[in-house]
Amino acid sequence: MSPSPHSESTNSWYQRLWSHSLNQASHREKAISALGGFIGILAVLWVSSSVLDQQGAVMLIASMGASAVLLFAVPHGALSQPWPLLGGHLISAFIGVSCAIHIADIYLAAALAVGLSIGAMHYLRCLHPPGGATALVAVLGGESIQQLGYTFLLSPVLFNALVILVVAVLLNLPFAWRRYPRGLSLPVVMDDKAPTASASAQATSPLSHQDLVYAISQLNAFIDVSEEDLVRIYTLALHHSHQPVPCHLHGTVCDEDEENCLCRQLMSTQQ
């Protein structure tokens, strides 16, 4: 008995909602992420408690806790890199303090602080979601935070961000595949048919930087993955599939003298 269309639709909706197939991290990877979060927040708590009262420290820790998830669970992500971490928190803190000082209505100040922070982080290329929480803390964090004024940016925001950054660098240093920050990453060859990200970009993959920029621009959304990882994912999937490329599926073959034949370049990577 074949499943009903309603049952198939329900299963498809559940799979999209659960989306577990994209999280294939090993148990070791998950354990390292959890350990990093524990150490990072423990260090941040020590810094915050020495500067703020309990209420202010707890509120600021919330935004740093969100940063810990990104740095230790998604160290490859564009949102997790040092500039988004530091720039996102500092810019949001500046906007939050400014709104708290110049806008009397606390609700309007809080909402405007978050909205302006998102826009500023977008344009300054330092989008970091926990920055929105930092902007809120600057407005709603209580008297101990408001008394700091713009020194709130330096202590505890900058100190906390630097502490969790240092913990992330040191904790990920022994593990080559964790690659934090991304600029310090070392290529890891998984097998003979799985080229490294840099090799993929330069040799085995026909995709260029311009190709990726165009494709991402068509999505009209922020993509939290690096160009190198995009090329590597594409190349690994291509090697794993061992299938003809699209034009050959339709029985079309490029001319022999066509130098930029995408089909021929893709087929050559499978041989």
68-91 pLDDT, tens digit each: 999 999 998 899 999 999 999 999
Boundaries of domain holding 107:
27-178
Q: In the chain, how many domains are there?
A: 2
**What value does the mean pLDDT of the chain take?**
77
CA distances in angstroms from 86 to 81, 153, 157, 195, listed in the order given: 9, 10, 9, 33
pLDDT at 258 over 90: no
Identify the pLDDT of residue 198: 44
Q: Would you say residue 208 lies in a domain?
A: yes
For 74, residues 6+ apart whose C-beta sits below 8 A from its C-beta are 80, 224
For 110, residues 6+ apart whose C-beta sits below 8 A from its C-beta are 99, 136, 139, 140
- Which of 15-29, 96-110, 156-170 has the weakest average pLDDT? 15-29
Burial class of residue 159 (count of CB atoms within 10 Å of its CB; 0-12, 13-18, 19+) = middle
Integer Cα distance of 93 and 99 in angstroms:
10
Integer Cα distance of 87 and 89 in angstroms:
6
**Paired strand residues for 194:** 191
- 174 and 115 fall within a common domain: yes
Q: Phi, psi (5° rounding) for residue 222?
A: -75, 130
pLDDT tens digit string along 25-59?
788 889 999 999 999 999 888 877 777 666 667 77
Answering whether pTM is above 0.85, one says no
Domain boundary residue, one of 151, 178, 205: 178
- 64 and 157 fall within a common domain: yes
Higher pLDDT, 198 or 149: 149
Q: Would you say residue 13 lies in a domain?
A: no
Helices 54-73 and 27-49, interaxial angle, to 10°? 150
